[in-house]
Amino acid sequence: MPSAEGLRQAALHQAVGSAMAAVHSTGIVKGVYRFRTHQEADAQRLDALVQVIVANAMRQRRGR
């Protein structure tokens, strides 16, 4: 049986996760990509992730 504090923390965790998932996208346009190196693939993935995080943060800020 979960404690009241455990339930409160779980609800807070869920709220933060929902707020940060306002934009439901990986940021990578659907398609086939060919990279010469793993570093190029990682760079694209990280750039797309940063764009999604920024979009979520901006959307959250406007929602206040």
Residue 6 within a domain: no
pLDDT at 22: 66
pLDDT at 7: 92
Residue 3 within a domain: no
pLDDT at 8: 92
Q: What is the tally of structural domains in the chain?
A: 1
Asked whether the CA dihedral 9, 61, 64, 60 is positive or negative, the reply is negative
0.85 exceeded by the pTM? no
Distance (Å, whole) CA 28 – CA 42: 12
Residue 2 within a domain: no
Q: Which tens digits make up the pLDDT trace of 13-54?
A: 887 777 666 667 777 888 999 999 999 999 999 999 888 888
Domain that holds residue 51: 16-63
Tell me, letter by letter, the H, E, C secondary structure of 26-61. Answer: CCCCCCCCCCCCHHHHHHHHHHHHHHHHHHHHHHHH
pLDDT at 47: 93
> Are the beta carbons of 49 and 28 closer than 8 angstroms?
no
Q: How many residues does the chain have?
A: 64
**pLDDT of 64 above 60:** no
Residue 55 within a domain: yes
